[in-house]
Amino acid sequence: MPTGVPKLRKALKKSAPGLSVERELWADGCDVVIGIDEVGKGSWAGPLTLGAVVVPKDRRIYKLRDSKQLRSSEREAMFDRIANWAEAWAIGHASPAECDQLGMSAAQKLAAKRAIAGLGLHRPPDAVVIDGKWDFIGHSRTVKLVKGDSISLSIAAASILAKVTRDRLMIDDADCYPGFDFAANKGYPCPQHQLALRAYGPTAIHRRSWAFMDDLVWTGSRRLTPHVRADPAQETLNLF
C-alpha cells in the first residue's frame, strides 16, 4: 500500500475538517469521544461498513479530508497514517444478508455496535460524533452533524477508514464475480452493473430484497422480500 501522501490539491486546501466539536466535548469533561461514519448504504452489493475512531488530543494529522473529496489513491495513502495516528479505531460491517433480513436502519445500528465493540475500550465512551441527522447510536451524548465528515476530524478519519476497507473488500470480490466490474463500481449502481444483473442475475453478495431486483431475471436463487420492522428508527442498540 502507498506510504507517502500526495501533495494536497489546491481545491482541497480550504476545506479541512477540524477539532472544534471534539474540543468542546473534551472541555466539557468528555474524555473519550468517538467519531463514526458509514459507507455502502446506497450500494446494491457488498456490506454496509462503519468506521469508528478515537482521535488523540495532542497530535494533529495533516491532509485529512472527507473521503468523498479524495481520490482513491489519496484515500489509500491516508489509511495507514490515520491508523497509526488514532488512539483507537475499528471497522464494523453488516453483511448483505443482514441488510436484507434486518432492514437498513437496523443493519446500520448493528454495524455501529460492532465497530464500537471493536475499539476495545475499557469503558463506554463519553460522547459519539456522527454524520447526519439521525442518531443511530442511542448514546446519551450523541452529536449529530450535517456534512459532519467535512466538519469533524474524527468523522473524516472514520470515513476514510470505512471507505478504504470496503473498497478493498469489493476489489477482492471482483475476481469472484467477473462481469460485474465490482473493482470499479464497488457494488454501486451504474450501467455495467445493471447490465450484468440482467444478464447473470444476482450474486451471493447482492442485497436481494431491494426494489431494483423486482424486474430481473432470476437464476434459481430465492427472491427475498424486505423484512418489515415496526418503527426501526426508534429502536436503540442498548450499548451503553
For 39-92, the pLDDT digits (tens) are: 999 999 999 999 999 999 998 887 787 788 888 988 999 999 999 999 999 999
**Is residue 231 one of the residues assigned to a domain?**
no
Q: What is the pLDDT of residues 116-151, one digit of tens each?
A: 999 999 999 999 999 999 999 999 999 999 999 899
List the grid coordinates of 45. Answer: 452489493
| 53 and 149, same domain (yes or no) | yes
- Asked if 208 contacts 85 with a C-beta cutoff of 8 angstroms, the reply is no
Is 234 part of any domain? no
Q: What is the DSSP letter of 214?
A: T
Instruction: Tell me, yes or no, whether 72 and 86 share the same domain.
Output: yes
Which residues, other chains included, contact 196 with Cβ-Cβ below 8 Å and sequence gap of 6+? 179, 180, 181
Claim to verify: residue 142 and residue 60 sit in the same structural domain: yes
How many other CB atoms are found less than 10 A from the CB of residue 65? 23
Residues facing 129 on adjacent strands: 35, 143
Domain count, the chain: 2
Note the pTM of the prediction, 2 decimals: 0.86
> Do 105 and 203 have their domain in common?
no
Looking at the fold, whether 125 and 194 belong to one and the same domain comes out as no
| Residue range of the domain that includes 184 | 177-213
Do 47 and 116 share a structural domain?
Answer: yes
Please name the residue that has the C-alpha cell 431494483.
212
Same domain? 46 vs 31: yes
Are 138 and 43 members of one domain? Answer: yes
**pLDDT for the residue numbered 219:** 54
Instruction: Examine residue 148 and state whether it is found in any structural domain, yes or no.
Output: yes
Q: Please report, for residues 84, 89, 124, 163, 170, the alpha-carbon distance to residue 35 in angstroms, rounded to integers and kept in the order given.
A: 16, 9, 14, 14, 24
Q: What is the mean pLDDT of residues 213-238?
A: 54
Residue 48 belongs to a domain with what CATH number? 3.30.420.10
**pLDDT, averaged across the chain:** 87
Question: 89 and 123: one domain?
Answer: yes
Residues 141 and 208 both lie in one domain: no
pLDDT: which is higher, 164 or 60 = 164
More confident call, 112 vs 213: 112
Domain co-membership, 185 together with 159? no
Residue pair 11/88 in contact by the 8 Å Cβ criterion: no
